Structure 1
Amino acid sequence: MTEQSKINRKGAKPGSLFERADQAFGLDRLGGASVPRNLPLARKPAARAKPQSAPASVAPSRVAASEQVDKPVAPQAAPEPTAEPAVTLRGPRLEIDRELLHDAGLIVPEDPVTGLLEEFRIVKRELLADARASSDPTARRILVCSPHPGEGKTYCATNLAIALAAERDVEVVLVDADLLNPSVARRLGIETGEGLMDALSDSRILPEDLVSPTDIDGLFIMQAGTSTSRDSENLTSTRTAEVLDRLTRSAPNRFVIFDTPPALAASPAAELAAYVGQALLVVRADQTGRAALEDARQLLSACPDIKLLLNAAQFSPSGRRFGDYGEREE
């Protein structure tokens, strides 16, 4: 560094060292370049806003948002279809003549228990068990038939209907399907009227309007109705399936018993066999031949379950005899 005491200060211009250097070397020419007039003004950057946390009720958490995106939405179950109610049987109410029942040897509901009632209780138990064990609603349709006239098929059909109607929460429709010789009305002491054949021949007629409740709880009657020369054709038409389905649809405790003509005498028994799930073939002891029994069974083969009922039997191999328990002295 230059020693200051040796510098010749005579004639020196006053000022600091930097001022004198500027005067000697023209340092003022080294100033910065002038700023152009048309240079765009620089904008002042906006102040960065501080992030504010949103309320919990408005901004869901990150986990919740992830669940909403990734979690599949469970489909809503479709409402279960409402079960269709059973058809109400609304024919005119009928009163059964109890004296005629007694005189014909039929079951009288108000009478004491008899051997006849006990026998038909056994018959109905097997029919009930098979109907309830089956998923086919036609198992609740029971055809009662015999090979020949005079073997007791109407007698058995009527007693079976009365015995079955005594079951709790069971409805029984006894249908007189013996179109050539209807006899149910005569046996029960009721006036004849429209019935099965009228519903089959006229699609405008509702079958439930022709099924009458009786003064025997649970027992309903559908008469044969008006017979024509086209009865056989009407029985084999699609209308038959519609009528019978309407009587039993959505009614798991409703049974329909058909009293039909003898199988070897007329065709209705064979034709109705295709619409029932059980058939009761009535044969008379010491009267019905084996050949007639086989022929009748063949005619009813459209029915998947045919049972044999022996009528007017006087001998029991087991010695069992109903109705004498109360007469014994214990």
Structure 2
Amino acid sequence: MTEHKKIPLPGEGGPGESKESSLLERASGAFGFDSFKPAAMPGKLSERPMKRAKKVTRKGAEAPVAEPVAQAHIATEVEPAANLPVPAAAPAVPAVVEGAPLAPVFDGARHPVDRAHLRDQGMIDPDGPVSELLEEFRIVKRQLLGTAREKGTAKSRRILVSSPHQDEGKTFCASNLAIAMAAERDTEVLLVDADVANPSILSTFGLPKGSGFMDAMANPDVPVEDLVMGTDIPNLWVLPAGLNTNSASELLSSGATAEVLDRLTVGVPGRIVIFDTPPALAASPAAELAKHVGQVMLVARADKTGRSAMEDACQLLSACDDIKLLLNAANFSPSGRRFGSYYG
């Protein structure tokens, strides 16, 4: 064992080392650690030959002789071809976003409305004095118009009028609501008879028969605006029920419904569309149309419509999230409000 005194000190220059060598290097020279050094790594490994896929030839054809693969130099930049013009940058085309299409203007022939026939049915006379009935529907229309203006969408301007059962006054309320709304300034009202099985809007106003809503639904080539009927009541238009078909529910559940209703309301903020539909518990068209309207006015007749019927009707019309209840034929007012006594 070598004594530590015999280990060369720094700067003494032992065999095989320089004066600047470290302590470990001098110990390696003294004890012969050179045999434990790893083998030297080659500077460059030999490349393995590249395998080429054999070319498949048809039977009987002479197989081509494979040419030796030469090691090619991969260029990092592609030189442009000489004498070729550089294409000019194309101008940027601005993106054009089209607005909502405007609903067509109603320009159908106007028909006179029998005012005496309206009075005989106990309805609002558009040319008569202010009455209790008119004031009642003025209050009703204010809530409906307020919601439509607050939301400001085409769907909110579509109002569905229905009742749980028949003979509860839905057509009476829908017609009076349309007359009251038509008196508004800058407002156009379209009353749609969507009760295909039992249409009554034309007879209520004394208008002639004609094609209507179901004809436009059944035939996409028929523009619905061409079937709208004008009246001599300012701002009031009527769309008859039209074709009496047994597949009204299937037509209303098709994609054509949204297209037809958009042609009536989209782009015209001053147009209100009122649908007089069949009773909700008697036929399915009311539930189908509820998917396309923004407001529902559910009519209940005093002392006749039951609570369970109202709950079932609300459930069927729940596709619309805004359902308002209207009590019809009520002889008692808890608030004591009597408009008729004020106006005489």
- TM tier, shorter chain? 0.7 to 0.9
Q: Residue 83 of structure 1: CA displacement? A: 6.7
Q: Which amino acid aligns with 1:207?
A: V
Q: Among 231, 240, 249, which residue is 1:232 paired with?
A: 249
Task: Please say if 1:218 is aligned against 2:235.
Answer: yes
Taking every aligned residue pair, what percent have the same amino acid on both sides? 60
Q: Residue 212 of structure 1: CA displacement? A: 1.5
Q: Partners of 1:235 and 1:326 in 2: how far apart?
A: 44
Residues 82 and 142 (structure 1), Cα distance of their counterparts in 2 relative to 1, 3 Å cut: closer
Task: Please say if 1:175 is aligned against 2:192.
Answer: yes
Q: Residue 81 of structure 1: CA displacement? A: 5.4
- Give the aligned CA root-mean-square deviation in angstroms: 1.7
CA displacement 1:142-201 (0-9 Å, x = unmatched): 000000100000000000000000000100000000111000001111111100000000
Size of the alignment, in residue pairs? Answer: 253
Aligned match of 1:111: 128
Q: Partners of 1:203 and 1:81 in 2: how far apart?
A: 23
Q: Among 62, 75, 92, which residue is 2:109 paired with?
A: 92
Residues 147 and 296, structure 1, Cα contact 8 Å, conserved in 2: yes
Aligned match of 1:256: 273
Aligned match of 1:7: none
Show structure 1 runs of 4+ deviating over 6 A: 75-80
Aligned match of 1:245: 262
Q: Among 195, 210, 233, which residue is 1:193 paired with?
A: 210
Aligned match of 1:163: 180
Segments of 5+ residues of structure 2 without an aligned counterpart are 1-91
The 3-state SS of whatever aligns with 2:111 is coil
Q: Partners of 2:317 and 2:99 in 1: how far apart?
A: 37
Q: Which amino acid aligns with 1:169?
A: D
Paired residues for 1:10-21 under 5 Å: none
Q: Which amino acid aligns with 2:154?
A: P
Residues 90 and 210, structure 1, Cα contact 8 Å, conserved in 2: no
Residues 80 and 301 (structure 1), Cα distance of their counterparts in 2 relative to 1, 3 Å cut: closer
Q: Which amino acid aligns with 2:276?
A: D
Q: Among 324, 332, 335, which residue is 1:307 paired with?
A: 324
Q: Which amino acid aligns with 1:226?
A: L
Q: Residue 136 of structure 1: CA displacement? A: 2.9
Q: Structure 1 length normalisation: TM-score?
A: 0.74
Segments of 5+ residues of structure 1 without an aligned counterpart are 1-74
Q: Partners of 2:108 and 2:163 in 1: how far apart?
A: 29
Q: Residue 323 of structure 1: CA displacement? A: 1.7
Q: Structure 2 length normalisation: TM-score?
A: 0.71
Aligned match of 1:149: 166
The 3-state SS of whatever aligns with 1:225 is coil
Q: Partners of 1:195 and 1:326 in 2: how far apart?
A: 39
Residues 173 and 254, structure 1, Cα contact 8 Å, conserved in 2: yes
Q: Which amino acid aligns with 1:170?
A: T
The 3-state SS of whatever aligns with 1:257 is strand
Residues 116 and 245 (structure 1), Cα distance of their counterparts in 2 relative to 1, 3 Å cut: same
Residues 80 and 200 (structure 1), Cα distance of their counterparts in 2 relative to 1, 3 Å cut: closer
Aligned match of 1:292: 309
Aligned match of 1:266: 283
Aligned match of 2:76: none
Residues 217 and 251, structure 2, Cα contact 8 Å, conserved in 1: yes
Residues 281 and 306, structure 1, Cα contact 8 Å, conserved in 2: yes
Q: Partners of 2:178 and 2:280 in 1: how far apart?
A: 20
Residues 87 and 249, structure 1, Cα contact 8 Å, conserved in 2: no
Q: Which amino acid aligns with 2:142?
A: R
Q: Among 286, 295, 300, which residue is 1:283 paired with?
A: 300
Residues 211 and 291 (structure 1), Cα distance of their counterparts in 2 relative to 1, 3 Å cut: same
Q: Which amino acid aligns with 1:146?
A: S
Q: Which amino acid aligns with 2:253?
A: T
Q: Partners of 2:157 and 2:236 in 1: how far apart?
A: 15
Residues 236 and 321 (structure 1), Cα distance of their counterparts in 2 relative to 1, 3 Å cut: same
Q: Which amino acid aligns with 1:262?
A: P
Q: Residue 321 of structure 1: CA displacement? A: 0.7
